[in-house]
Structure 1
Amino acid sequence: MEETQRKVRLIAHTQLTQEFFDEAGDGFHDDDLNQLASDGQVVALTAVRTCYSANKPTEIVAKEGVKYFGSKASDGGAGTDADRLFRHIFASKHTSTLEHLTFTFAIEGVSRALLAQLTRHRVGFSFSVQSQRYVRMGSDDKIGGFDYVVPDKVKQDHIALAVFERSMELAQEMYDSLRKDGGITAEDARAVLPNATATNLVMTANLTALLSFYSKRKKGRGAQAEITELAEALRREVIDVEPWTDQFFEEV
């Protein structure tokens, strides 16, 4: 049993199939579609233009991609005309077209208190969470006792930290006693575990859902520090693979 550290890692995100990429690239001649747009931008353009174009979804990038990805933004803003189109879509709140971009994260070492807050964001999210029913949290179990997350404000006060750490020790002792001495099953003994107990999960969310989550949980919106830090970590993972989305995280 010990204090744990949070880790957030993007493990998968929207990518084009080779067949679609080959078809989409037909309209680019000597230009390489990879050099002009990310997979996410290609998917976004396909979704957006499907709503307004006479072309079929499989034809849009091949027939319209050079116009959007190969020319400067017609509104005088940064980037290509595709970036201009995405800004227009975002400003007009037609963001259902961005739901086709999905991101899957491994999230490790967050508290059960954070989990309760995180799972309030349900639309556009999927969660698979480490079970306290099947993963035994005893000191003598494989896990070696439950790990926990210490709130920043508790860390800043040595007296509060001592009280906090002692309460973690007592919770572990009570859990162990229920399991060993009382013969209580893990699914019932877990009731004494605190909100600070660390957990791990896999989470998948679409871009629109992530932007909504970030708008509510980013710094300055009154959210608790732990989930604010998670929101920033998720944003960093997304913009690392789809840099064009950063402007939208900044604006929500």
Structure 2
Amino acid sequence: MNVQLIAHTQLSADFLSQDDEYLYDKVFHEEIAEGQAIALTAIRTCYSANKPTEIVAKEGAKYFGSKASDGGTGTDADRLFRHIFASKHTSTLEHISFTFAIEGVSRTLLAQLTRHRAGFSFSVQSQRYVRMGSDDKIGGFDYVAPGKIDDPEAEAVFIAAMQDAQRKYDELRSLGVSAEDARAVLPNAAATNLVMTANLTALLSFYSKRKPGKGAQKEITELAEALRREVVDAEPWTDQFFEEV
């Protein structure tokens, strides 16, 4: 499995330039994450008389420039984010999205992953258009072994089943069966690749259900952890929310 963040929500140049003396400098020096500025704008728009384009310019110094008034860590903006999260007003975090390349995962995982629909978008490698034959460009289908197939005898049975599926697929194709019909013999273990976009609220919900200790299958718990790492690397202030879900 390989998971890599391709893109995430960033501030526009016009928005950054409207308050050169505060916002641009703070973001440039990484004192404020861009996601934090977006979150503050969305949250305070619900409660402030100021316009969305004015929120950070007029209120940023107050929230980002002072210590958390609840006695917790970070700035008063962090206090506000904690309050919003605790009060479940997390629709305000839906404005922050992340796009990932996810490679080498099983179709079993894909079936589990796509049950999470709200706030997610998927573009998946097609077994109809990408031919999986041994002599095709892909060189035959890859597969992902379930984590619990870990003793030599079980592993041998599993590998034999994968090899047999490949032979049957190749035989069907040699008999003139189309790729879209021959794919019916490919197993749930067959590997696939996808691009996935999700907003922060949706990712937190996904993580709460698929993180280790929740009874999910090993492969998808590994995906949950990989997504978490990518998000937190891009927006470190979100780590506290993953810890709490």
Supply the distance in 1 between the matched residues of 2:55 and 2:65 (Cα, whole angstroms).
14
Q: TM-score, normalised by structure 1?
A: 0.95
- Contact between 1:25 and 1:32, CA under 8 Å: does it hold in 2? no
Q: 2:77 aligns with which of 66, 82, 90?
A: 82
Report the AA paired with residue 85 of structure 2.
F
8 Å contact kept, 1:114–1:227: yes
Corresponding letter in the other structure for 2:173: R
CA contact (8 A) 1:104 1:203 kept: yes
**Distance of 2:2 and 2:239 partners within structure 1:** 21
Shift of 1:34: 3.4
Partner of 1:212: 205
Which consecutive residues of structure 1, in runs of 5 or more, have no partner in the other structure?
Answer: 1-5
Matches within 5 A, 1:110-149: 110-149=105-144
> Aligned in 2, Cα 1:242/1:64: closer, same or farther, shift over 3 Å?
same
Does residue 62 in structure 1 map to residue 82 in structure 2?
A: no
- Residue aligning to 1:3: none
> Normalising by the residue count of structure 2, what TM-score does the alignment of the two structures yield?
0.97
Q: Any idea what the Cα deviations from partners look like across 1:157-204, whole Å, max 9, x if unmatched?
A: 100000000000000000000001x21000000000000000000000
Q: Which residue pairs with 1:101 in the alignment? A: 96
Contact 1:15/1:39 (CA < 8 Å) preserved in 2? yes
- Deviation readout 1:102-155 (Å, 9 max, x if unpaired): 00000000000000000000000000000000000000000000000011211x
Higher mean C-alpha displacement, 137-146 vs 33-42 = 33-42
Q: Equivalent residue for 2:13?
A: 18
Q: Residue 242 of structure 1 aligns with which residue? A: 235
Give, in whole Å, the separation in 1 of the partners of 2:222 and 2:105: 11
In 1: Cα distance, 2:62 partner to 2:162 partner: 60
Q: What is the aligned-residue RMSD (CA, Å)?
A: 1.2
Residues paired across the two proteins, number: 244
- Summarize the Cα distance change of 1:167–1:143 in structure 2 as closer, same or farther, 3 Å threshold: same
Change (3 A) 1:76 1:164: same
Distance 1:45 1:195 in 2: 43
Residue 156 of structure 2 is matched in structure 1 by 162
Closer/same/farther in 2, CA of residues 58 and 191 from structure 1, 3 Å limit: same
Asked whether 1:188 is paired with 2:181, we answer yes
Q: Does the aligned pair in 1 maintain the 2:143–2:190 contact within 8 Å?
A: yes
User: Would you say the 8 A contact 1:25–1:33 is kept in 2?
Assistant: no
In 1, Cα distance between equivalents of 2:233 and 2:83: 22
Give the counterpart of 1:50 among 45, 50, 64: 45
Match of 1:203 in 2: 196
Any conservation in 1 of the 2:7–2:100 contact (CA below 8 Å)?
yes
- Helix, strand or coil at the partner of 2:134: coil
Q: In the alignment, what sits opposite 1:176? A: 170
Identity percentage over the alignment?
77
Q: What are the Cα deviations for residues 63-93 of structure 1, in whole angstroms up to 9, with x where unaligned?
A: 0000001111010100000000000000000
Moved over 6 A (4+): none
Secondary structure of 2:115's aligned partner:
coil
3-state secondary structure, aligned to 1:205: strand
Report the CA distance between 1:31 and its aligned residue: 5.5
Structure 2 unaligned residues grouped into runs of 5+:
none
